[in-house]
């Protein structure tokens, strides 16, 4: 039985969409699957954090104004309805929009993956695996992750 996926469109920062496409092309990754993987990673982290604040209406308005200043591009990602519902629950609870959250997750993924890193491999076809493995070794500390969240996505009060 095949799981039904539909395409969802997000208006996000053009630089991030281009960088993510470059990463996927260079490493031979399926864009939709990996975008969902990185979004799921952020959903799980936010769910696991107790005491995480939520955006006030003023904070959401400020974050949206900051996003409006940047050039946008439409990014289409195939997702299941269950995945969208899970994402919507997080967005609704912490008061941010889907495009803000997708942009946040893809930016974090691109920041971790360094395509220019040199590896002394005998086989060039293994380079994508080394790059991905190394990206997961570059995890942020707990404090760095919280600072990243509160600087870029959630700035408000405790709920």
DSSP string, the chain: -PPPEEEEEEEEEHHHHHHHHHHHHHHT--HHHHHHHHHHHHHHHHHH-TT--EE-HHHHHHHHHHHHTS-EEEEEEEEEHHHHHHHHHHHHHHT--HHHHHHHHHHHHHHH--TT-----S-GGGHHHHHHHHHHHSPPPHHHHHHHHHHHT--EE--
Domain boundaries, the chain: 5-154
The confidence score (pLDDT) of residue 151 equals 76
pLDDT tens digits for 100-152?
Answer: 999 999 998 888 877 666 555 555 555 666 666 666 666 667 777 777 777 77
pTM reported for the whole predicted model: 0.82
């Amino acid at each position: 039985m095949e799981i039904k996926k539909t395409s969802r469109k997000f208006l996000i920062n053009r630089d991030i969409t281009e960088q993510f496409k470059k990463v996927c092309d260079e490493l031979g990754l399926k864009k939709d699957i990996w975008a969902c993987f990185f979004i799921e990673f952020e959903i799980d982290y936010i769910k696991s954090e107790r005491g995480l604040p939520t955006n006030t209406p003023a904070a959401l308005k400020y974050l949206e104004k900051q996003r409006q200043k940047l050039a946008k591009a439409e990014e289409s990602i195939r997702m299941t309805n269950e995945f969208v519902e899970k994402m919507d629950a997080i967005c609704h609870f912490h008061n941010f929009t889907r495009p803000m959250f997708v942009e946040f997750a893809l930016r974090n993924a691109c920041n971790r993956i360094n395509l220019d890193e040199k590896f002394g491999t005998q086989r060039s076809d293994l380079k994508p695996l080394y790059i991905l493995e190394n990206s997961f070794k570059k995890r942020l500390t707990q404090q760095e992750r919280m600072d990243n969240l509160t600087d870029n996505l959630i700035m408000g009060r405790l709920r």
